[in-house]
Amino acid sequence: MARARLKVVEAKNNDTPPAPEPPEAYFIDSRQEHFVLYQGDSLGVMPQLQDASFDFIFADPPYFLSNGGMTCKSGKRVSVDKGAWDRSSGIQSNHAFNRDWLGHCQRLLKPNGSLMISGTHHTIYSIGFALQELGFKILNDITWFKPNAPPNLSCRYFTHSTETILWAARGDKSRHTFNYPEMKEENGGKQMRSMWTFTAPRKEEKIHGKHPTQKPLALLDRIIRAATNEGDRVLDPFNGSGTTGIAAAMNGRRYVGIELSEEYLDLSINRYLDVVPEVGAQDEPNRKTRHG
């Protein structure tokens, strides 16, 4: 099947630099640019996207955990191996990578844009430091508590049961979006705190296939509703199974995802076609199969 192509976005006025030649998309929805996926390395794709063209970015980058350690899965002791993308090349190189992709995010965000990044202690300090080095304004460190976290088999540590989500505005002067009243209402009329409880993704969220680090849809749904408005443009440079895109589509936001793996892109397309059935039938021809 022929690959879909993005249209070159024309510069709106003389102050706006002309858009760079966009990369070839792996998938574009029939409404054009409501749900766009690129296959490739984010560090290669992001430089080809237009400056200041996103309202919000969510990133769930590699945690660099797949280095021969052990974990507990379905009650069994198994080695941590999420894929080559999750291997560490050392802390200096991990930090250089974090600075690199965050630098691209800063260029791609609109002046009032913001971003959220998830991580555990393996990466979150590097990410926090990189945000400070680059001049982002850190707004919150949200703790995601997982009540059904797997037990710690070694019994030498407390059971790991949280992840951190850093929320940062593009810069000191940014007037970021925060849908305060909606969050307050969701919390029974009281200000929502920075401690959120969500269980791991349910079985129904994995009917189209499995991703080793899929985030719960309810978590991304809250993130999107809290920090974006309808029609906003959202980027996820580490798309995975497309959870950010699904939450964006469910809430009327436009989405761009970048992912190395075709398998995970196909999984994302199937999830997307499921949540937007009214346009799904027309979107089907835009799919690029591995044999196409």
Shortest spacing between CB 62 and ligand SAM, in angstroms = 5
Which residue of 24, 33, 41, 221 would you call a contact of ligand SAM, by CB under 6 A? 41
Which residue of 55, 259, 266, 283 would you call a contact of ligand SAM, by CB under 6 A? 259
49 is a contact residue toward ligand SAM (CB under 6 A) = no
48 is a contact residue toward ligand SAM (CB under 6 A) = no
Its sign, for the CA torsion 189, 195, 196, 197, is negative
Measure the CA–CA gap between 115 and 226, rounded to whole angstroms.
Answer: 12
Token code pair at residue 60: 């769930």
264 is a contact residue toward ligand SAM (CB under 6 A) = yes
100 is a contact residue toward ligand SAM (CB under 6 A) = no
163 is a contact residue toward ligand SAM (CB under 6 A) = no
Place of tokens 């951190």: 164
User: What are the φ/ψ torsions at residue 121 (nearest 5 degrees)?
Assistant: -60, -20
253 is a contact residue toward ligand SAM (CB under 6 A) = no
27 is a contact residue toward ligand SAM (CB under 6 A) = no
User: What are the φ/ψ torsions at residue 125 (nearest 5 degrees)?
Assistant: -70, -40
Shortest spacing between CB 206 and ligand SAM, in angstroms = 10
Annotate each residue in 230-249 with x if it binds ligand SAM (CB under 6 A) or - if it does not, as one string: --------x-xx-x------
Measure the CA–CA gap between 70 and 152, rounded to whole angstroms.
Answer: 10
How far apart, in Å, are the Cα atoms of 57 and each of 120, 237, 256, 261?
18, 8, 9, 20
Please answer whether residues 259 and 61 qualify as being in contact, where contact means their C-beta atoms are separated by less than 8 angstroms. no
How far apart, in Å, are the Cα atoms of 61 and each of 1, 206, 266?
30, 20, 19
Measure the CA–CA gap between 133 and 83, rounded to whole angstroms.
Answer: 29
Annotate each residue in 173-192 with x if it binds ligand SAM (CB under 6 A) or - if it does not, as one string: --------------------
Measure the CA–CA gap between 274 and 193, rounded to whole angstroms.
Answer: 32
26 is a contact residue toward ligand SAM (CB under 6 A) = no
Shortest spacing between CB 61 and ligand SAM, in angstroms = 6
Local structure of residue 24 (DSSP, 8 states): P
Residue whose CB is less far from ligand SAM, 33 or 41 = 41
Which residue of 48, 213, 229, 270 would you call a contact of ligand SAM, by CB under 6 A? 213
Q: Which residues of the chain form contacts with ligand SAM (CB under 6 A)?
A: 41-43, 60, 62, 85, 211, 213-215, 238, 240-241, 243, 258-261, 264
